[in-house]
Amino acid sequence: MELINTHCHSRYCGHGEGEVAAYADAAAAAGITTLAFTEHYPLSSAFDPDAYLSVPKADMRAYEQAVLDARATHDDMEILLGIELDYLADTDDRDLAAANLERFDLILGSVHFVDRWPFDDPAQRGVWEEPGAPERIWSRYAELWCEAASDPSLPFDVMSHPDLPKKFAFYPQFPLDALYQRMAEAAAAGGRMIEVNTSGTYYACKEMFPAPQLLRAFCRAGVPCTVGTDAHTPAHVARDIERAYALMRDAGYRQVTVATLGGDRRVLALD
């Protein structure tokens, strides 16, 4: 079966490493047929004062050219120029006019901030240990995520790592079933895809994003699913893709949806 990865980063963001060309070479060696580079779209200094979370605005053109160069070098692999775009709700201070985004083949939507606070930043982990913090953070995260997923006017193609709050393995006391159902309904209402993101296995939660129960909810709601490794180093560009396919099968999916150049989609049967 084809291997596809629709989520990876590079040295252009402050917490990635390796050149775009090295990712493309590693993907080709692994037999990947579709590779999407989805670098973190620039955040303002109010959200990213150290240029650690996203690509500096001045470097975006260089990033884009590097992806186009990799595409020209690997004509046997479909290489997409994409971004990962944070949903910041009414705190967003960027110009996200369609004209600024139309050059991208794929836009991943993600929620890394809860009311301006970067809840998945390892430097912020201690906040999670405060009384009532997991309940408060999970609830607000789900509210923001559902806003982003359900609004068809927003530019997101895929909603990334849907249950990111589990990263540090802190969970609320309340059952997650109702929250998962709301998320599935929101993604379906907005016509979004979601991804199985293999990176979760290597965090404290020790399971892929999303959890099996949430993935089953997405499947029941008819939400298409793709796969991304969320690689931040070339060595991880193909990590656990086949395991992600197995997770999808177990959740009831019978096909993987793959973004293509120009914004279309194709499907691969899960054998």
- Residue-wise pLDDT tens digits, 5-57: 999 999 999 999 999 999 999 999 999 999 999 999 999 999 999 999 999 99
Q: What pLDDT does residue 109 have?
A: 98
Give the integer Cα–Cα distance in Å for 139 and 142: 5
Q: What pLDDT does residue 263 have?
A: 86
Token digits of residue 246:
């197995």
Q: What pLDDT does residue 38 have?
A: 98
- Listed in sequence order, the residues at least 6 apart from 203 whose beta carbon sits closer than 8 Å to its beta carbon are 167, 168, 169
pLDDT in tens, 55-87: 999 999 999 999 999 999 999 999 999 999 999
- Listed in sequence order, the residues at least 6 apart from 172 whose beta carbon sits closer than 8 Å to its beta carbon are 134, 135, 138, 139
Q: What pLDDT does residue 102 have?
A: 94
Token digits of residue 83:
């971004």
Based on C-alpha coordinates, what's the Rg of the chain? 17
Give the integer Cα–Cα distance in Å for 265 and 268: 10
Average pLDDT, the chain: 97
Token digits of residue 127:
């906040």
Q: What pLDDT does residue 65 have?
A: 98
Residue 38 · residue 84 · CB < 8 Å: yes
Give the integer Cα–Cα distance in Å for 259 and 195: 11
